Structures are given as structure tokens and as C-alpha cells.
Amino acid sequence: MATVTLTSDASKNGCSVQAETRTSPLYFEDLEPGQSWTSPSRPISLEDVRSFSELTGDFDPLHSGDDSGESETMALSSPFGRPVAHGLLGLSVLAGLSTEYPRAATLALVGVTDWQFENPIFFGEIVHVVTEVETVAPHGRRAGRITWLRKLISSDGRLLQQGRFITLVASKRRKPASRSNDGKHVPPRQPR
């Protein structure tokens, strides 16, 4: 079982606490400002960039790692001196890496704000995500609104991207799915 670093505002002395990855999700009541998690690392490969280009239709030569002279010349004339991964690929990888670190009982992603693309992501770069709870606020009777500060960081410590994700996270008090009189599954009512 993997471990993550959890730094909590509750530990006023600033020490880090090692916590095992939870098999059950964290609920609104489990979260407080100052808690932070670090995801495992993963590389951003040329194949990732090619697949993202195919998916999105963004074939800008800046993102080309092929052997064509035109693509290489374009990338070399860029401000980065070599091909770079799509910024939105980095954002997508960040979203994926942060789904388990922490594993929250997320009901919905409701916003991404203040997003900054700080540095380019080069092919082969190894990245990880640091997530911190910035704010928590009740949202109805069965959920909370959480603002997470998320940072995509390279293995050499460069800050690549950062910004805020705003999500609705279920409350522990949220009623589980129940059965109707005819025995059929009835999902709980979702917050509006």
C-alpha cells in the first residue's frame, strides 16, 4: 500500500504525518485548510503527446517529436529550444494524478480558476502533483465546497503549472442509496 505525506493545519508544530492511502474516500468533514498530499510520479512520454494530439486535433509543430525537418526546425525556433508537451496535457495528467491523492468523495468538479502555465513540460519529464486544501465551506446539507491548490512539479523541482480546482465533496451525513417499495435501487438525491 502506498503512502502519502499529509500535512495538517491541526498539527500546529508543522510536522508531517505519514498516512496510508485510504481504501475509503475522505468526506467533507475529513478535510481542513492546510492539509496536503503528494502524488506518485509519472513520465510524460512522446507517445502521451502523440495520443493527446490525436485526441484533440492539436498538431502544432511545437508539440511534434517526429523526425520531419519542418517540425524540428519549428520546435527549435520556439522559445523553449525543443518540442514541448501540450499545456492541457499537463493539466489532464495533474487531474488524473490527483484523483487518489487525496481520494475524496467528489460529487462534481465545479471550477478551475487562476490556472497558470509556469514552465514548459519537455518530453520524458517526470512529474508529480502536490495538492493542498485551501478552503472548505458547507454546500447544502449533504456536501461541502472545497478549493484545492494543485501544483504540477517536475522531478527537478520546477513548478510547471498551478491553480485551483473547486469541487463538491459529499458529507458523511449524506444518505446512502436506498430501495423503493418495489425493491428497486433508488439513488440519493444529488445537490443542486
pLDDT of amino acid 125: 97
Helix, strand, or coil (residue 69): helix
Peptide bond into 176 cis (omega under 30): no
pLDDT of amino acid 97: 97
pLDDT of amino acid 9: 37
d(CA 73, CA 54): 21
pTM above 0.75, yes or no: yes
pLDDT of amino acid 126: 98
3-state DSSP of 101-121: CCCECEEEEEEEEEEEECCCC
pLDDT of amino acid 81: 85
**pLDDT beneath 70, residues of the chain:** 1-23, 65-77, 174-192
d(CA 28, CA 190): 15
Match 510524460 to its residue by C-alpha cell. Answer: 44
Instruction: 132-135: list long-range contacts, CB under 8 Å, 24+ apart.
Output: 132/34, 132/35, 132/36, 133/31, 133/32, 133/33, 133/34, 133/35, 133/36, 134/33, 134/164, 135/33
pLDDT of amino acid 8: 36
Per 3-state DSSP, the chain is made up of helix, strand and coil in percentages (nearest 5) of: 20, 35, 45
